[in-house]
Amino acid sequence: MAFELHQLDGYTTSEVADVIGLSVSRTWTLIRRAYLHLRTRLDEA
């Protein structure tokens, strides 16, 4: 959800944090992990 809000809907990390009720640093960690997961999956293809 954090990745979708940030990347697809154009929310800032701070806005995403407010929406999902987490700290900005925790939200950034979720977004970063999603990027890394996506990169791994694309590299496997």
Q: What is the pLDDT of residues 1-25, one digit of tens each?
A: 999 999 999 999 999 999 999 999 9
CA distance 44 to 3: 20
Instruction: Give pTM, 2 decimals.
Output: 0.88
More confidently predicted of 45 and 24: 24
CA distance 4 to 10: 9
DSSP 8: I
- Residue 45 pLDDT: 82
